[in-house]
Structures are given as structure tokens and as C-alpha cells.
């Protein structure tokens, strides 16, 4: 049978016309169509099958449910018949009630969604949200970074360096552990990151030319430095005018075991110390503040301190 004849046949039944009108606004499941039209499930399924055969309707599975919608990509000649047929269907005696029921069903869908978000408002930021992660936020924020030259000081294996290297012009990762440098270099090579270079060196005198860097990052590294104030001064020297320092470190704490467990030299820093060292080194626009707190004991807090040369 030609597609025109199939369409005409599919549209020749008042029940199928009612369904076509209902699928005009939104996709609907068989259950929803049942509730709206007050018809039995098998009757609806049969009619949907015929409309699908004529390619006037398409379906989409979501979990256990199937949603039906108008096939907007249907053959042009098929669509030609749909408009007048649907217009005629508005004269059917069931049309008014169908529309009232449709509005009710669609409103209920919205209410259910709102109910969920209303229930979790106030807890949402701390609860699980599918697909939502700090990693994803980080990747998004990276895209607004200009092509910078970055020094990642006390880089470790280069978790952050690798992330930055995917966007930045060049990343120089500095660490005083030979093994970290060797491991990080091999990983960067394996991942094809040609703009990421690992160098063996000390935080207090990083192996970088003066005024050669746009951004210097010290992530959980400063509390390993012998002299944190001197490290901040050294970073000031290697930054270009306008360059920025970003220190992520632990807020001062009393968890002595951190020395043994994590090899820490300092038990975090007071915000006032970081502020003082940055200002004394000559940084402008200094900002220091706590940006995260752990829920588990010993409740480490992370402080972010930044400044501009």
C-alpha cells in the first residue's frame, strides 16, 4: 500500500484522530492516553500500532515506559493529510473532555517534578544529583580560562597539571620527589600532553625563570614547605606582572597524626598567616577564605588564598 493510502486509512478512524490531536502538544504514554480518553489499554495500543505503521507516530522508551509522539519527520505527503484531519477531529464530541484531561495530566507531571525539588530544596547541594560532580564543574570552568602559562608547584603525579594542560598554553609541574616527577612525566607522555613538562625542584626555589608564568598553583603543597613565607616570595618572583598565585591548603588544624600519615610539615595555616605572607611578598588584591569543609572527622577545611602580582 502506498504511504498516502496508509496515512488516509490511519486517519479515517475517529479514535485515532483523537490520539493524533492529543499527541500534538507533548509525548504521552499508553497509561496517560488511557486516563485521558477513558479507553482500554489494548484498544489504545492497537490504534497506536496502526498510526506507527503509517509512520504518523513514533515511540521512545524510557525505562519501562514507552512514550508516543507525532512523527515530525514523516513523509511530506503523509503530513499533508494530518493537518485537515486533526482540524476535523476538533469537532468530535469527545474533544473538549480530552483537552481538559490532557491539561490535568500534563500539570500533574509538572507537579511531580516540582514536588521532588521542593522536597529536597535546602539539601540539594549536599545530596546526590545524577551527572552532577565537581569534576564536571571543573571541566566547565576550565573552558573560560585564557591560554595561560601555569606552574603547578608541589604537583605530585599531576592530577591538576593534566587537567590544566588540556586547556592552557603550557604547564610546568614542579615536585621534589624524583619518583613523582618520573611517574608524572610518563603519564603525561602516555596521554599525549606535549605542553605538560615535569621538573624536579623545590617549592622554595622553583626551577622557573623570573616573570615567566601567568598562574602559579600550590594545591596542598605549601604545608610541606620548610619556609612557607619564603615560598610565597619565590612565587612572586616567577610571576609576570598581573600574574596570579592560587594556594589551596588546609586550614590550621590539630590533627597531629597528619605528620605521620601524610608527611605534613605544617598542620595547615591560619587565614591571617596566608594573608600576611601574600601581602608581605608584594601581592595585590589578596583574598583568603575557607572554600570547603569535610563532613568526616577530623573535619579538615580547605582554604583558598589568592593574589595578583
Q: Give the residues lining the site for ligand SAM (CB under 6 A).
A: 154-156, 159-160, 175-177, 180, 202-203, 219-221, 224-225
Closer residue to ligand SAM (CB): 154 or 307: 154
Nearest to 239 by CA among 261, 271, 272, 217: 217
Closer residue to ligand SAM (CB): 48 or 234: 234
Closer residue to ligand SAM (CB): 156 or 268: 156
CB of 178 to ligand SAM, least distance (A): 9
Closer residue to ligand SAM (CB): 160 or 239: 160
CB of 106 to ligand SAM, least distance (A): 49
CB of 207 to ligand SAM, least distance (A): 10
CB of 309 to ligand SAM, least distance (A): 21
Closer residue to ligand SAM (CB): 67 or 266: 266
Closer residue to ligand SAM (CB): 98 or 249: 249
Closer residue to ligand SAM (CB): 182 or 270: 182
CB of 260 to ligand SAM, least distance (A): 14
The residue at minimum Cβ distance from ligand SAM is 156
CB of 113 to ligand SAM, least distance (A): 38
Residue 132 in grid coordinates:
552532577
CB of 173 to ligand SAM, least distance (A): 9
Amino acid at each position: 500500500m502506498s504511504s498516502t493510502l496508509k496515512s488516509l486509512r490511519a486517519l479515517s478512524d475517529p479514535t485515532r484522530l483523537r490520539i493524533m490531536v492529543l499527541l500534538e502538544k507533548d509525548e504521552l504514554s499508553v497509561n496517560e492516553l488511557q486516563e485521558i480518553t477513558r479507553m482500554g489499554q489494548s484498544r489504545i495500543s492497537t490504534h497506536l500500532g496502526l498510526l506507527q505503521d503509517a509512520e504518523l507516530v513514533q515511540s521512545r522508551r524510557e525505562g519501562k515506559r514507552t512514550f508516543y509522539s507525532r512523527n515530525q519527520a514523516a513523509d511530506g505527503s503523509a503530513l499533508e493529510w494530518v493537518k485537515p484531519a486533526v482540524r476535523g477531529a476538533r469537532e468530535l464530541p469527545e474533544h473538549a473532555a480530552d483537552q481538559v484531561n490532557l491539561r490535568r495530566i500534563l500539570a500533574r507531571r509538572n507537579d511531580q517534578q516540582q514536588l521532588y525539588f521542593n522536597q529536597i530544596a535546602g539539601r540539594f547541594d549536599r545530596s546526590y544529583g545524577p551527572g552532577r560532580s565537581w569534576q564536571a564543574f571543573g571541566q566547565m570552568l576550565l573552558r573560560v580560562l585564557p591560554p595561560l602559562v601555569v606552574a603547578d608547584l608541589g604537583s605530585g603525579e599531576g592530577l591538576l597539571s593534566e587537567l590544566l594542560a588540556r586547556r592552557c598554553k603550557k604547564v610546568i609541574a614542579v615536585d621534589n620527589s624524583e619518583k613523582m616527577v618520573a611517574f608524572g612525566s610518563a603519564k603525561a607522555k602516555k596521554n599525549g600532553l606535549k605542553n605538560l613538562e615535569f621538573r624536579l625542584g623545590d617549592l622554595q626555589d622553583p626551577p622557573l625563570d623570573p616573570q615567566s608564568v601567568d598562574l602559579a598553583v600550590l594545591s596542598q603543597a605549601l604545608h610541606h614547605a620548610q619556609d612557607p613565607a619564603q615560598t610565597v616570595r619565590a612565587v612572586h618572583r616567577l610571576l609576570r606582572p598581573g600574574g596570579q598565585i592560587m594556594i589551596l591548603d588546609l586550614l590550621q588544624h590539630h590533627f597531629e597524626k597528619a605528620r605521620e600519615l601524610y608527611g605534613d610539615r605544617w598542620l595547615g595555616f591560619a587565614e591571617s598567616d596566608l594573608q600576611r605572607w601574600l601581602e608581605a611578598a608584594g601581592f595585590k588584591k589578596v583574598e583568603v577564605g575557607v572554600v570547603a569543609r569535610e563532613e568526616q572527622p577530623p573535619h579538615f577545611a580547605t582554604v583558598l588564598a589568592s593574589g595578583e602580582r
